[in-house]
Structure 1
């Protein structure tokens, strides 16, 4: 007689309390950071709370336990998002932005920002729902391809931030048209690498429908943000940036967009 599958309800109780508490502290830390008053611990809490709700909470919610890729991606996400912060830390000794011309702070309206974050979170939950327990698959030749994609994502992010920092003042103000490294493939490789990271989450969970959803959300948000940045770059660099646009035709996805 077959035995019924075991279900762990542990996550329903104490881990959710911890996750919610971490989220509340993350929101408070973000407020402090917006006032340039956050400590190093609070700056780390902003990143960790966000990544926890993207990589750990969704699969644990649908499975009742955690193993395999979600745990690995928890650390991959941290490593990924720390690249840009590490540049500020190395240059200035802290993670606060420096005084600069506000025109370079290209941001979409708050409603778009909140919608993007909410949709990305929904996409991560959809991926965990679409592929429950498949993230437990460990080893095998298929995972070699996944790890290669992880390395490519980290490599792209690292070199995008590195080249941008070399040709920027105070990290955020470009002083030249960057045309090296990943900027030879797409015009906005930092955005493209973030989209690739989110896509990686869906790929590890074997969730193709959620993959399409995440990519569409990123193209919608980052595509619009890239348009605004390019208007500013054209205003600042003129023909040099036009030549670059003619040379590198794609914003986010080589051969597609």
Structure 2
């Protein structure tokens, strides 16, 4: 069953720029999809339609069969997004406050909020940091706080926009492990990245965009071949006929 359905999506910004030009994308529940493409190809614009941060100029986007445009509040509860700049997503004075922000806006009771926050922080390995100031954490820890906030909302789909950007090697490994744990617990994952080496071995599909359209879509080992012509660096292993391997090995 498809949890995400993007049909002939078009988005034109007020300045006239056509950022997405007739994109079609379906994602099955529990699937792990990587969305790649050169800068300006429309990846982030497409992602922002999945939970109603942007609404289509043309076409449609549905989450679990319900139009995002018709019910953006529902879409935002079902589809959580981790932004490239983790600091822009932090709103609380403490880690607890930040993770509790979403559930509080749902009008949940304090015991339910406490339960959700505790469970989310435990899931990302930050239970001991609930009183810490999030802006003072490392880059990898900030991303995990953002993930915890999404888990506290009980989002079924988690969207990552360049989750490894500006992270050092330990931070990349922390975030990658967390993404894989989410996949193991049944979450649907859509992730954009310029660095396929780090994560492609774990994905179910690779989707490549070019000029606002889907240019390639298929199993990673097949779809990755020759993508240099689409402005995406093909991983060294694929270029040399080797099997894609995990960064965590």
Do both proteins adopt the same fold according to a TM-score greater than 0.5, normalized to the shorter chain?
A: no
Which structure has more relative contact order (CA 8 Å, sep 6+)? It is 2
TM-score by length of 2: 0.27
TM-score by length of 1: 0.26
- Higher strand proportion (structure 1 or 2): 2
- Higher helix proportion (structure 1 or 2): 1
